[in-house]
Amino acid sequence: MGGTYAGNAVACAAAVAAADAMKEENILANVNARSEELFASLNALRSNPKIAPTILDVRGKGLMVGVEFASPTGTGPYDPFANPAVPAKLATALRRSASRKAFSSSRRACTRSFGLFLP
């Protein structure tokens, strides 16, 4: 038997069991279905005239989703995406709200204008 990183039998057995469970429970199919729902919902928000100026982009793969928000100040005086009507620190406020509703979000990936959400 190997050391920690060299074919550890217990770690390999756990990995095989996890892969088997994912296959048996159709985890990937569920992720793909939920991903379609999530992206459809977020893109529907982008078509709402009241919300559209706030959301610049929605991107990601599966259920790892990033949302880019407009910033009230932008990155400088000539930033075309600056929108004074957008609340300051919107992404931070949404990250806090999402975490109270069983979503995980990365503090490091959330800035004042970008949020990474992991349901």
- Of all residues in the chain, what percent carry a pLDDT higher than 90? 18
pTM flag (> 0.75): no
pLDDT, greater one: 38 or 6? 38
Tokens of 80: 């075309």
Residue 114 lies in a domain: yes
Domain extent for 50: 31-118
Residue 16 lies in a domain: no
Residue 71 lies in a domain: yes
Phi, psi of 91 (to 5 degrees): -60, -40
Residue 112 lies in a domain: yes
Residue 25 lies in a domain: no
Residue 64 lies in a domain: yes
Residue 61 lies in a domain: yes
Q: How many domains does the chain have?
A: 1
